[in-house]
Amino acid sequence: MAKLLKVAVCIGILSVVVYQLVDFCKLMGVFRELVPIEPGNCHLIKGVEYGSEDINILPGGLALISTGLKYQSLPNFDSDRPGHILLVDLNESVLSAVKLRISRGFDVESFNPHGLSTYIDGDGTVYVFVVNHPRQITTVEIFTFDEDQNSLNHLKTIKHELLHSVNDIVALSPDSFYATNDHYFSHEHLKNLELVIGLSWCTVVYYSPSDVKEVATGLRLANGINVSPDRRYIYIAESLGHNVHVMEIAANNTLTPVKIVNVGTLPDNLEVDPKTGDVWIGCCPICWKLFLYNPENAPGSEVIRIENILSMDPKVTQVYVNNDSTLQGSSVATVYEEKLLIGTIFHKALYCELSAQP
């Protein structure tokens, strides 16, 4: 009898392990096949060679892009150089990127930018918030942007125990923001185990100089984050849930869950069209190829658009899908004046002319 019980326990454990592995493979796109979609004529952006992990567009059409991210287990084609913030003027007929200079006193040699966000104050000052991973730690850097000088003036570095594995950020004021932690553990091997066994221990943190607190928990790889145009709702990408969470901002800056939108793919960064409120998502459709990178079998790219996200029936649409080496490992998508910009974790950046759709 004892022997049968041991066998039953072993079978039960094995069943759980197999289920978790199959589930993880599905979420990482192991069994998925891609059908290419292009919304119009698409072109690579000149000067972007080593990633365009996050993109934020200012009202006049200037796009800020984080590039050169070095992150655990992911490819990097320029490991010997620091990261940068790039600037692209979307009003030009041919798009090209230039590096922004950073003010003296900031450690540019260890700059490793990840997510970014901007906030424009009442006097027109543009604040740029950048998630930074210098020397394998996490900080949030706050700059102001000088358009005339093509430069960033560093104001402060924020480091806090609750901001231990920040992926993305959305600015609320010159010194406050929400941020996602994409892992619970700090050790690389434990981070990988956390993903495979499906722990939903990731968090969202609210930060201001007077108040720092967790405002959302129970997420399985919390990733991109953004705010609705009326600044009443926060949108959060739960990558290994294939979900976008909608949460309402309370008066004390805590978040109340409103709904979950399943997008059927692994969402990364979220950008919100200020005119329509549509949510644009750079996705990783076959994400296992990022961790077992092979240039002959490169990870594809995908862009998802969510229309009417706050309605009872939001519309989820594939806008762009690429399954070759043209654009590898998409991470962000955003729009400006009929131009769709698509960024990647470690590769190039693309723009497509939406007006050319049939």
Nearest alpha-carbon partner for 48 in 78, 5, 25, 8: 78
Nearest alpha-carbon partner for 320 in 273, 286, 354: 354
Distance CA 162, CA 216 (A): 12
Distance CA 49, CA 77 (A): 8
List beta partners, residue 318.
304
Q: Is 23 exposed, middle or buried (0-12, 13-18, 19+ CB in 10 A)?
A: middle
Q: Give the angle subtended at the CA of 223 by the CAs of 221 and 225, to the nearest 5°.
A: 140
Distance CA 318, CA 220 (A): 23
Active-site residue 133, yes or no?
no
Residue 242 Ramachandran class (φ > 0 left, ψ -120 to 50 alpha, else beta) = left
Distance CA 185, CA 166 (A): 12
H helix or E strand, kind and range, residue 17: helix 2-27
Sign of CA pseudo-dihedral 69, 133, 85, 39: positive
Pairing of strands 101-102, 151-158: parallel
Q: Which of 114, 133, 242, 347 is catalytic?
A: 114
Nearest alpha-carbon partner for 84 in 128, 138, 44: 128
Any idea which residues carry the catalytic annotation? 114
